[in-house]
Amino acid sequence: MEAAVSPLPNNIEALQALLAIATQRADEAEAELANARARESAAEAMIAHLKLQNAKLRREQYGPSAERTERLLAQMELELEDLEADAAEDELAAEAAAAKTSTITAFERKKPVRKPFPDHLPRERVVVPAPCSCPACGGNRLSKLGEDVTETLEVIPRSWKVIQTVREKFACRDCEKITQPPAPFHVTPRGWAGPSFLAMLLFDKYGQHQPLHRQAERFASEGVPLSVSTLADQIGAACLALTPIYQLIEAHTLAAERLHGDDTTVPILAKGKTVTGRLWDYVRDDRPFGGNDPPSAIFYYSRDRRGDHPRHHLAAWSGILQADAYGGYNELYAPNRQPGQILEAGCFAHARRKFFELADVDGAARKKSRGEKAGLVYPIALEAVQKLDALFAIERGINGQSPVERFAARQELSAPLIAELHEWLNAQLARISRNHDLAKAINYMLRRWGAFTRFLDDGRVCLSNNAAERSLRCVPLGRKSWLFCGSDRGGQRAAVAFSLIQTCRLNDVDPQAWLADVLARIADHPISRINELLPWNWRTDKVDLAA
C-alpha cells in the first residue's frame, strides 16, 4: 500500500503563507456575508418604510375606516423601529468585517433623507479650537477659508423649580394700618400648582392617555414625589376653572346649521364592577364647504345610551345632523319637532364599511394564513365598494368649495351615479335571500335613502361622518391606557377636557401651550372678554403678537 501524501507543505514559511491566504479568504468571506446581511436588513427596512408611508397616504386620501386602521399603523411603526435598528447593527458589522480586508468594500445602505432640525430650536455653537500652526509645514501664517458645521440634536432633561412669591407687609406710621399685596391666583384654593404644571397634567392625562398613577411614578423618578390623590385634586380644580371656556365652545358648536354626531363606550368604575357609559361628541366643521367659522367639538358624558341623551343635548338645536343609524336619534327627525326640524344626513362611510367587510380580500387572506376561518368574499360587495368609491372620488375634487359650487358639481356628476346605484341595489336585493349579510348591507341604505341622498340637494352636507369619528378617536385610543373613568363625575371631567383638547387640535393650536396660557390668565381676565381665550381667537392673538 502507498502512504497517503499530505497536501500541506512541510516548509514552515510555506505553511505560514498558506495560513495567511486562508485567513484572508476567511475575512473576505466574512465581510461578504456581513454585507449580504446588511443588504437584506436594509431592504427589509426600506420595504417596511414604504409600506408604512403607503398606508399613511391611503389613510389621508380615503380617511380612517375603523379603529383597526390606527392599530395597524401603530403595529407597522413598531415593526419599522426594529427593522431600522437591525439594519443599523448589520451595517456596523459589515464595516467592521470589511476593515479586516483590503479588497471588500463595506455596504452602505441608502437611508431616507433626514429633514433638517426645526428652525425654532435654539442653537449652541461649540467651536473646535483651530491649530496655531500648519500641521504639514509648521508655518504660522494661517488664514480662515470657511467652516463646516455639524448639527447634533441634544435634549435637556425636564427641570423643576419652586417659585417663591414674596408679599411684603408694610405698616403705616400715621394710621397704623398694615397693607400687603394680594396672594397670587391658584386654580385650587390655597393651591400650589402652577399653570404650566397643570397644563402638562391635563394634557398628559387626556391628550396623551397617561393615567395619573403613571405620571406620579414619572415625577417620583425625577425627584418630585406627588400622590395620585393630590394630582387628582388639581385635575378637578382645573376642569372647574375651565368650565366657562367649555360653555362658550358648546354655544359655538350648537350655533352651527350642520353638525356631525357620534358616540362611543367608556367603562365606568362602579361597586365591585365596571359599567359601560357613553361619551357623545358633536362637531362643527364648515371647512368642507368653505365656511369661515372656526371648527369645534363638544363632548357629553352619560351613564347609558338611552335616546333621551341626544334629545337633551340637541333640545334647542335644529339643522342638519350627520350621524349613524342609531335609533336614539329617530325622535329628533320628527317633522313637527319643536323648536325646529332636524334633517338626517346619512353617512356613506358607514354604508361602505358594511360592504367592505364582505369584500375584504386582504383580510380574508390574512385570516387564512393564520389558520383562522375566513369569511367569504362576495363579488356583489366588491362592486358596491367600487361604486361608492366613485362618489368619494368626486367629493375629494370639490372639497373646500362653496355650497353652490358643490351643489352644481353633485347634480352634474354624483346624481347620475346615485340613480344608477339605487337601481343596482334594488336589482341585487331581488336576487339574494333577505337574511343574507349582503341584504342587510343593502337595506341599510335603501331604508334610509332620503338621508343618503340629502347631500345632492345641499352643498353643505358631507358624504361621511368622519369628522365626528376623528374627534372621537381619542377615547378608544386612550381606553387601553386609563382603562376606565373612576366615577360619573370623572366621565364629566373627561368630556370637558376632551372638548378643549380636540377643539384646539381642530384649530391647529398646541393644546398644552393653550392650557398653560389660559390657566395663567383666566382668573384676572374680564368675564365680558372671555371669548378672547377661545382656541381660535387665542391663535390669532399669538400670531398678531409675533408679527
Q: Is the pLDDT of residue 368 over 70?
A: no
Task: Round the CA-based radius of gyration of the chain to a whole number and report it.
Answer: 33
Structure confidence at residue 112 (pLDDT) = 58
Distance of CA 523 to the CA centre of its chain: 32
Grid cell, residue 42, equals: 436594509
Q: Looking at per-residue confidence, does 494 or 11 come out higher?
A: 494
- Please write down the long-range contacts of 229-236, taking CB distance under 8 Å and 24 or more positions apart: 231/201, 233/188, 234/187, 234/188, 234/191, 234/193, 234/197, 234/198, 234/201, 235/201, 235/202, 235/205, 235/493, 236/493
3-state secondary structure of 101: coil
Q: Alpha helix locations (H) across 399-487?
A: 403-409, 415-429, 437-446, 449-452, 466-472, 474-482
- Residue bearing cell 343618503: 452
- Residue bearing cell 491649530: 131
Q: Is the pLDDT of residue 424 over 90?
A: yes
Name the residue among 207, 293, 208, 290 with its Cα closest to residue 249: 293
List residues bridging with 300 in a β-sheet: 280
Categorize the per-residue pLDDT at 59 as very low, low, confident or very high, splitting at 50, 70 and 90: low
Burial per residue of 5-37, b for 16 or more beta-carbon CB atoms within 10 angstroms, e otherwise = eeeeeeeeeeeeeeeeeeeeeebbebbbebbeb
At 82-100, the pLDDT tens digits run 556 666 666 667 677 777 7
Q: Is the pLDDT of residue 375 over 80?
A: no
Question: Using an 8 Å Cβ cutoff, are 191 and 234 in contact?
Answer: yes
Q: Is the dihedral of CA 253, 259, 260, 263 positive or negative?
A: positive
Q: Which residues contact 33 (CB under 8 A, 6 or more apart)?
A: 97
The domain segmentation of the chain, as residue ranges, is 18-98
At 122-151, the pLDDT tens digits run 888 888 888 888 888 888 888 888 888 888
Give, as one character, the DSSP assignment of residue 106.
P
At 254-285, the pLDDT tens digits run 999 999 999 998 877 666 667 788 899 999 99
Rounded CA-CA distance 494/207 in Å is 10
At 211-236, the pLDDT tens digits run 888 888 899 998 889 888 788 878 88
Q: Which residues contact 154 (CB under 8 A, 6 or more apart)?
A: none
Categorize the per-residue pLDDT at 52 as very low, low, confident or very high, splitting at 50, 70 and 90: low
Structure confidence at residue 372 (pLDDT) = 64
Question: Using an 8 Å Cβ cutoff, are 435 and 295 in contact?
Answer: no
pTM of the model: 0.76
Beta 319-322 vs 342-345: how paired, if at all?
Answer: parallel
Q: What is the mean pLDDT of residues 11-30?
A: 76
DSSP states of 285-343: --GGGT--SPPEEEEEEESS--THHHHHHTTT--EEEE----GGGGGGG-TT-SS--EE
Name the residue among 495, 448, 472 with its Cα closest to residue 326: 448
3-state secondary structure of 171: strand
Rounded CA-CA distance 480/85 in Å is 27
At 520-547, the pLDDT tens digits run 888 888 888 999 999 999 865 554 433 3
Rounded CA-CA distance 511/499 in Å is 11
- Please write down the long-range contacts of 220-227, taking CB distance under 8 Å and 24 or more positions apart: 222/157, 222/158, 222/160, 223/160, 224/160
Q: Looking at per-residue confidence, does 500 or 229 come out higher?
A: 500
